[in-house]
Amino acid sequence: MRNRPALIFEVDPLAIVAATRQLVEELLPYASACRGVVLCTQMHGLVLCTPDGEPRSNAITWQDQRVLQPHPSGNGSYFDQLKQLVSAEEVAQLGRELQISRPLCYLYWMAEQGQLPADPVVAASIADFVIANLSGTIPPIEPTNAGAYGVFNLTTGDWHWPLLERLGLQNLQWPAVRPFGNAVAEIAIADRVLPWYAPVGFHQCAIVGALLKSDELSLNISTGSQASLLTTELRLGNHQTRPFFDGH
């Protein structure tokens, strides 16, 4: 968005939907055997929308740093205040995903500012919003995508409800968390009706594409710069922990 305030990075969510629709329309003539659509999504973005997929906010992206603004209490930034409300044990349960680029931070800032909509709205990832807007219904969210919010409890496999209540975010509508499986919507584009599946996190999708084995280490030397290892056991510690597929 032009002329945006410092530290705030938002884009028009309907422009993202239009670009997605256009891309699918352009590709379908070359994919006559297509039997479904899976979105691999940029993680950490957020759109507040109605239960039938109409936007009630701009799309806030991972580049947003609004929680670094000074808190009106005079005690540091909004992020400093947020960190005081989350225990060390809870940070571990979140996979150490309490970072300034996470949707939890945008939502905490909006709650503190009194900017959350009064009507029922869903905290949707950008890719889930695209499906919601095209289909008119909110899809369940896949764990690799839910884990990017910064408020996914790895020990329960669900949202961290006690933390959401403590931060004043419990009245938002949170999508149901479901493992990857059946289609979440059927969408008509370019005279084709296709099943669309739950969007998955791009980091985990890249690990799948690398065909990483359980005894191997993945080195991602790029924007994210991650060293990744698969495990079938939940091991919380002084490292990031993220949901994966098929019991990992």
Closest by CA to 136, choosing from 20, 28, 54, is 54
Closest by CA to 129, choosing from 57, 201, 190, is 57
- The secondary structure of residue 177, as a DSSP letter, is B
* Number of neighbours of residue 49 by Cβ within 10 angstroms: 23
CA distance 244 to 126: 19
Number of structural domains (the chain) is 1
CA distances from 127 to 4, 145, 165, 215 (A): 23, 9, 25, 32
Q: Which domain holds residue 41?
A: 10-202
CA 35-40-46 angle, 5° bins:
125
Q: Is residue 116 situated within a structural domain? A: yes
Q: Is residue 159 situated within a structural domain? A: yes
pLDDT of residue 3: 67
pLDDT (tens digit, 9 = 90+) per residue, 112-158? 999 999 899 999 999 999 999 999 999 999 999 999 999 999 999 99
Q: Is residue 89 situated within a structural domain? A: yes
Q: Is residue 228 situated within a structural domain? A: no
Q: Is residue 162 situated within a structural domain? A: yes
Q: Is residue 222 situated within a structural domain? A: no
Greatest extent of the chain over all pairs of C-alpha atoms, in Å? 60
CA distances from 184 to 70, 107, 134, 158, 198 (A): 40, 25, 12, 18, 6
pLDDT of residue 49: 98
pLDDT of residue 174: 98
Looking up residue 191, the CATH number of its domain turns out to be 3.30.420.40
Q: Is residue 227 situated within a structural domain? A: no
Q: Is residue 29 situated within a structural domain? A: yes
Residues lower than pLDDT 50 in the chain: none
pLDDT of residue 2: 63
